[in-house]
Amino acid sequence: MKFNVSSKILCNFAASVAKVINDKNALTILNNFYMELNGDILTLRGSNTENSLTAHIPVNEAQGDGAVCVDASSLVSMLKQIPDQGITVDVANSLNTTIEYSSGRFEFVALDGAGYPRMDAEATEAEGIQFLCTGNELRKGVDYTLFATSNDDYRQQMMGIYFDAKPDSLTFVATDTRKLVKYTTTECAPGAAASFIMPPKAAAIVRGLFADDESVKVKVTEKYAVFESENYLFQIQFIQGQYPDISRVIPRNNTLQLTIDRQTMLNAVRRVSVFVDPAHGLLKFRITPDYIDMKTEDTTAMNCARDRVPCSFTGDTMTIGFSAPFLVEILSTITTDDVVISLSDPGRPGIFCPSENPEGTDLVMLLMPMTMSNF
């Protein structure tokens, strides 16, 4: 088989597909791309034992159909070194392969594509619930929640993002029991109910795979989710198990409202975090109607940092403690100029929200307080 294609286009597709390939695979064939030419469409597939990502790439001057396996790492490395130009890929019957560009060529031996497993067949052929979503909504859902997933192997259900489709909305949830994020959008209306837990590596791939304005067909079967666009088909195997019920976790009676400039608060948290105790990350707050005093202490090194920022608070003076690293994550994820923090008392979670949610969306971030002594 033989074809011409832009080096940059092929490199971009190959780099995307390579993200699904594990560094170490039990099946060595999975260290390779599956490359198949059918007419003027090149299929490039990468798989691990759980997920499979396929790209469909238009090519020029195609001659002969066929399928081979090419070492994924080597192909990406080669393509990254070729300037943006047209290249010719030629695979002989002997599997000797040449990638020719204007000033040189790469020569290597491919493997027969017949030995590559079709791990995407079960999901694509199975029946399931299907609906359309934009790449933008998928990206935002993952962007808002991925940082809040757990890394506790004993709670595998919490290690992923809970993807909950309702007839009129789509909700993304992540929690590690210390922080929780829930993002709901009605911009995507699935028309049916389905849910699954998306592994974090797969979620990170979904986040960067589709263009914002691209229409993505989502299919949910008994064990898999399939995301399909014009150029990509991504099959994900769920994390098995029941996701915890979060409906009772988010407080409904946090009546005290703290409004503050998000970037000002983020900068101050980063400053005092220089001396935060690495054992627990506690950042102490004294909140008044007009300003917040922040304090961190590293008792081992006998260090202390303080900062004060203006705010608007509807309650009286309150002292409360939060994790400094978690605050940085939350304040970096919210994008509005101001952030609104709903509080009730020092022993109950704080609810962090954008000062204004775009129409059709709702973003809620919950952070558990930390036990603290006097300010």
Under the banding of pLDDT at 50, 70 and 90, the label for residue 372 is confident
In order, the DSSP letters of 330-348 are HHHH--SSEEEEEES-TTS
The residue-averaged pLDDT of 293-316 equals 91
2-115 against 256-367: fold identical = yes
Predicted structure pTM score: 0.91
pLDDT for the residue numbered 253: 85
Which CATH superfamily does the domain covering 121-237 fall into? DNA Polymerase III, subunit A, domain 2 (3.10.150.10)
pLDDT in tens, 218-266: 999 988 999 999 999 999 999 988 999 998 888 888 999 999 999 999 9
Q: For residues 105, 108, 111 and 112, what is the CA-based torsion angle, rounded to 10 degrees?
A: 50
Which CATH superfamily does the domain covering 2-115 fall into? DNA Polymerase III, subunit A, domain 2 (3.10.150.10)
Cα dist from 52 to 123, 155, 293, 314, whole Å: 10, 25, 50, 51
Domain boundaries, the chain: 2-115, 121-237, 256-367
Summary mean pLDDT of the chain: 93
pLDDT in tens, 121-138: 666 677 889 999 999 999
In order, the DSSP letters of 8-34 are HHHHHHHHHHHTTS-SS-SSGGGGEEE
- Whether the CB-CB separation of 109 and 97 falls below 8 Å is answered with yes
Residue 72 has pLDDT above 80, yes or no: yes
pLDDT for the residue numbered 122: 65
Residue 371 has pLDDT above 90, yes or no: no
- Whether the CB-CB separation of 21 and 47 falls below 8 Å is answered with yes
CATH architecture of residue range(s) 256-367: Roll (3.10)
